[in-house]
C-alpha cells in the first residue's frame, strides 16, 4: 500500500495523542485518588535504585535488531527488537520503507546486556502502519535498560493489507502475546544472545498507537463487544501495565469493556485529531484500575505521535499543532516515568512532565 493510501486509510480509522511539558510533576491534590495497586498486576521490587532524570537518555547504549517471530497458527511476525547494550557500535539503524528513510540512534551491531533481567514492553502499531512507527520511544527506553519488541501485524501493514478486520480484532493482541513468548524462549536458551534478559514471571507492558491502542487495551484486559455487549476476552494475564497512544475504538467494538482492565493504564490523546476525534476520553473514562493517568492535548493531531508520516501539513503536522520535539520528549519522559512507577521505583512518578499549557493531566494514583 502506498503512503498516500495509508494516510487516506488513517483518516477513516483512529485518533491521536501528543506532546509537551518538561520538568517535575506537580499533581493537584484534588486530581489524585489514593488507591492501592492490584497485587496481581503490579511489579514488586524493593531493590530498584531511585529514579534519575527521565528527561535524559539513560546509562546504556540503545541497540536494535530485526527478527522473525512465528506466531500461533504459523503466522509470520517481522519484529523489531530494541535492547540495552554497554558500548557504542559502528552502524546505526536506518528505518523506513521504499522512498523514505529515517536515521535512528540505536546501533545494529551490538549484543544485548543481559547481566540481569530487563523490563519489557511489547508495542502494537497502528492500522496499516509498521513496527518502527515510533522508533524514538523504544530507542530511548533501551538507554534506560528496557527491552522493547514491536511485531508487524501481518496483513495489516504499510506493505500488506490482506487481513480481514474480524481476524485482526483477536489476532492483534495474540501477536503481542506470541512476541513475548518468543522473548522468553530466547532468554531461556543459553546459546542465545538474549539469554537471561527476560524473566517470564515479570510480565510486560502492553503499548500501542491508534489501532494499536485498541490492541494494548484488549491485551491488557479490556473486553471486546459482541452485539454491543463487552464479552470477548483476548487478554494476557502477564500484562503489568497498559499504555495507549491515540487509541481507536475499532468501529465501536471497544467501549465500556476497558472497565475490565486490572493493570495500571496510561492514556495519551489529542483533541485536534482529524481522524477519529477524542475517542481516547471515553475509552480511558471507563478504566477503573490504579494507578491510571490520562494526558489530553488540545492541539495534537493524529500524526503527532508518528512524525515519520508527516509528509504534508495537517492532522498533527505543521505549525498549528504541538511541536514535534515537544511531543516526542513528552512521550519518552512520561512513558518511562509511568512504567518505572508501576515497577515500584521510588521517585519515578515525580518525573512525569508538568502541565505547561499544552496538555492537562487526569490522575488516580
Give me the helix-helix angle, 165-187 and 211-219, nearest 10°.
Answer: 60
For the stretch 251-293, pLDDT in tens is 999 999 999 999 999 999 999 999 988 999 999 999 999 999 9
Enclosing H/E stretch for 334: helix 324-343
From the list 168, 167, 120, the residue with the least C-alpha distance to 144 is 120
Question: Domain containing 166 — which CATH number?
Answer: 3.40.50.1820
Q: How many helices (H) and strands (E) does the chain have?
A: 6, 13
Reported pTM: 0.90
* 357 torsion bin: left (phi>0), alpha (psi -120 to 50), beta (else): left
**Residues composing the chain:** 365
Q: Looking at residue 198, what is its pLDDT?
A: 98
Query: Which residue from 181, 206, 358, 199 is spatially nearest to 270, judged by alpha carbons?
Result: 358
Q: What is the pLDDT of residue 128?
A: 97
Q: Grid coordinates standing for 36?
A: 492501592
Residue 52, C-alpha cell as written in the block: 534519575
Whole-angstrom distance, CA of residue 279 vs CA of residue 295: 13
* Residue-wise pLDDT tens digits, 14-34: 323 333 333 333 333 333 343
Please tell me the total count of domains within the chain. 1
Contact 121, 102 (CB under 8 A): no
Per DSSP, what are the bridge partners of residue 249? none
Other beta carbons within 10 angstroms of residue 295's beta carbon come to 31
For residue 77, the enclosing domain spans: 3-364
pLDDT values of the chain reduced to their tens digit, one per residue, 365 residues? 334 343 434 433 332 333 333 333 333 333 334 344 444 445 554 479 999 999 999 999 999 999 999 999 899 999 999 999 999 999 999 999 999 999 999 999 999 999 999 999 999 999 999 999 999 999 999 999 999 999 999 999 999 999 999 999 999 999 999 999 999 999 999 999 999 999 999 999 999 999 999 999 999 999 999 999 999 999 999 999 999 999 999 999 999 999 999 999 999 999 999 998 899 999 999 999 999 999 999 999 999 999 999 999 999 999 999 999 999 999 999 999 999 999 999 999 999 999 999 999 999 98
The values of phi and psi at residue 76, to 5°, are -85, 125
Amino acid at each position: 500500500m502506498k503512503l498516500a493510501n495509508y494516510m487516506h486509510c488513517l483518516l477513516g480509522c483512529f485518533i491521536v495523542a501528543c506532546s509537551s511539558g518538561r520538568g517535575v510533576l506537580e499533581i493537584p491534590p484534588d486530581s489524585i485518588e489514593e488507591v492501592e495497586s492490584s497485587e496481581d498486576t503490579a511489579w514488586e521490587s524493593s531493590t530498584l535504585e531511585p529514579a534519575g532524570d527521565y528527561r535524559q537518555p539513560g546509562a546504556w547504549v540503545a541497540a536494535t535488531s530485526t527478527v522473525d517471530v512465528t506466531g500461533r497458527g504459523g503466522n509470520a511476525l517481522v519484529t523489531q527488537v530494541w535492547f540495552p547494550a554497554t558500548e557504542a557500535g559502528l552502524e546505526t539503524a536506518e528505518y523506513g520503507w521504499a522512498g523514505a528513510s529515517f536515521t535512528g540512534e540505536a546501533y545494529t551491531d551490538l549484543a544485548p546486556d543481559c547481566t540481569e533481567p530487563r523490563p519489557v514492553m511489547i508495542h502494537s502499531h497502528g492500522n496499516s502502519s509498521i513496527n518502527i512507527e515510533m522508533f524514538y520511544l523504544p530507542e530511548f527506553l533501551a538507554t534506560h535498560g528496557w527491552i522493547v519488541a514491536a511485531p508487524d501485524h501481518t496483513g495489516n501493514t504499510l506493505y500488506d493489507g490482506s487481513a480481514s478486520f474480524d481476524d485482526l480484532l483477536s489476532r492483534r493482541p495474540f501477536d503481542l502475546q506470541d512476541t513475548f513468548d518468543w522473548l522468553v524462549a530466547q532468554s531461556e536458551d543459553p546459546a542465545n544472545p538474549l539469554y537471561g534478559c527476560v524473566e517470564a514471571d515479570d510480565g510486560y507492558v502492553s503499548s500501542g498507537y491508534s489501532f494499536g491502542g485498541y490492541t494494548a487495551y484488549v491485551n491488557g484486559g479490556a473486553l471486546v463487544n459482541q452485539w454491543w455487549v463487552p464479552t470477548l476476552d483476548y487478554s494476557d494475564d502477564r500484562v503489568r501495565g497498559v499504555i495507549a497512544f491515540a487509541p481507536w475504538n475499532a468501529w465501536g467494538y471497544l467501549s465500556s469493556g476497558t472497565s475490565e482492565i486490572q493493570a495500571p493504564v496510561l492514556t495519551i490523546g489529542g483533541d485536534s485529531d482529524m481522524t477519529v476525534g477524542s475517542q481516547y476520553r471515553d475509552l480511558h473514562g471507563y478504566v477503573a484500575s490504579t494507578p491510571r493517568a490520562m494526558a489530553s492535548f488540545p492541539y495534537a493531531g493524529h500524526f503527532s505521535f508518528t512524525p515519520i508520516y508527516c509528509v504534508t501539513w495537517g492532522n498533527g503536522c505543521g505549525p498549528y499543532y504541538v511541536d514535534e520535539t515537544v511531543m516526542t520528549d513528552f512521550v519518552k519522559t512520561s512513558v518511562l516515568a509511568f512504567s518505572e512507577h508501576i515497577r515500584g521505583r521510588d521517585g519515578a512518578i515525580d518525573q512525569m512532565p508538568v502541565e505547561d499549557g499544552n496538555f492537562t493531566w487526569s490522575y488516580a494514583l
